[in-house]
Amino acid sequence: MEIRKVQLSGGTTYTVSLPKSWATEHRIDAGSAVRLHPKGNGSLLVESAGDTGGDERTTTVDSGGLDRDGLARTIHALYVVGVDRIRLVDDTTHSTERRSTITRLAGQLSGLEVLETTDTEITLRSLLDPGSVSIHKSVLRLKLITLGMARDAMRAFVTGDRSLADTVIERDDEADKLFAMVTRYFRRSLSDLAVIDELDHSRDELFEYYYVARQFERIADHAEKIARLANEDALTDDLDETLSSYADRARTIVDHAADVALSNAHVGMGYDTTANRDALVDEITAFSHELHGRGEPEEIHRVGLVLDSIERTAEYGANIAEMAVQRTARQGELPDA
């Protein structure tokens, strides 16, 4: 860190000199342009106009040796780290099946489209403009999808509704798609000051949104897991009521935590949420011990797996509450002792 005095130039303009070593490193001379990013927290970020921030990021990949899973992981990784244009090159030509696979994979990521194709090259491009993206609304939507999945997965499990279970499994792609988009812009904010300006959030805020979205994505994964455990047999009434009650309480924990994190509910609800998590986990642990030797082993095994997912859902809800408390502390709004 360097401290430099502000000078008054021409009676109307304040000026401050730039460190020569930094200017030399970034090829800045007299007359060069720099980008200024004023922040509400009192900071002013200076970026050389020649830096890559704001420019389109392009990556070329030799995709000839990648199977479907390899393509999926590669495209997803490049998307979430902020690449705008992905060129997939295969010197042996892309087969019709591979073209269809790449098109489907691109469709699983928000704003990613097939831009152009040749026999040996397929180019994907992100058409999303950061200025048109609302991270707050995206995380709120992810919350609604996640809680809906968790509710329907539990209903499918206790009633043996395979059709409803299949719907839950399909919706996990929608949750993954939203989380990937939030991750993309959080990652971009770490290296691109222009993206921070367009999203109109600080890095602190974007990290908090990313962290909350990560918990929702994990909850959605457990909803999918519960849905996959559903079969055509309904549970006995006592197990039905117990599991449904635990699942309802876990969803309430998530819902209340999200209200504090995303809708500015009083931070006291965040503290209550953590206490409610502790109580629910204790009850689930005690009930799990009671299950051994009760009923059919296969059914009890499935119930045990569901209980684990319910407990983890509550834990992820508590994580959201803890982040909400931390955000309130960062803003200096915790209640006085």
Split at pLDDT 50, 70, 90, the class of 41 is: low
Predicted confidence (pLDDT) per residue in 108-157, tens digit: 999 999 999 998 999 999 998 888 899 999 999 999 999 999 999 999 99
Q: Percentage of the chain with pLDDT > 90?
A: 64
In the block, residue with structure tokens 């403009």: 129
Q: According to the model, what pLDDT value does residue 336 have?
A: 61
CA separation, residue 109 to residues 26, 112, 126 (Å)? 35, 6, 9
Q: According to the model, what pLDDT value does residue 196 have?
A: 86
pLDDT value at 52 more than 60? no
In the block, residue with structure tokens 């994190």: 261
With beta carbons less than 8 A apart as the criterion, state whether 142 and 175 touch: yes
pTM assigned to the model: 0.85
Q: According to the model, what pLDDT value does residue 204 have?
A: 93
Beta pairing, strands 58-62 & 85-89:
parallel
Q: According to the model, what pLDDT value does residue 318 have?
A: 98
Predicted confidence (pLDDT) per residue in 287-312, tens digit: 998 887 666 778 888 999 999 999 99
Six token digits for residue 248: 């309802």
In the block, residue with structure tokens 């992820």: 316
Beta pairing, strands 85-89 & 112-117:
unpaired
Distance CA 227, CA 221 (A): 10
Six token digits for residue 63: 């995709």
Among 285, 302, 154, CA closest to 219 = 154
Predicted confidence (pLDDT) per residue in 219-275, tens digit: 999 999 999 999 877 777 788 899 999 999 999 999 999 999 999 889 999 999 999
Comparison of pLDDT for 95 and 232, the residue scoring more = 95
Q: According to the model, what pLDDT value does residue 94 have?
A: 85
Please enumerate in sequence order all residues whose Cβ is within 8 A of that of 39, keeping only pairs 6 or more positions apart, or say none.
Answer: 45, 202
Lowest mean pLDDT among 5-19, 54-68, 167-181, 183-197: 5-19
Q: According to the model, what pLDDT value does residue 332 have?
A: 83
Query: In a 10 Å sphere around its CB, with 0-12 CB exposed, 13-18 middle and 19+ buried, how is residue 234 labelled?
Result: middle
Among 257, 251, 280, 243, CA closest to 326 = 257
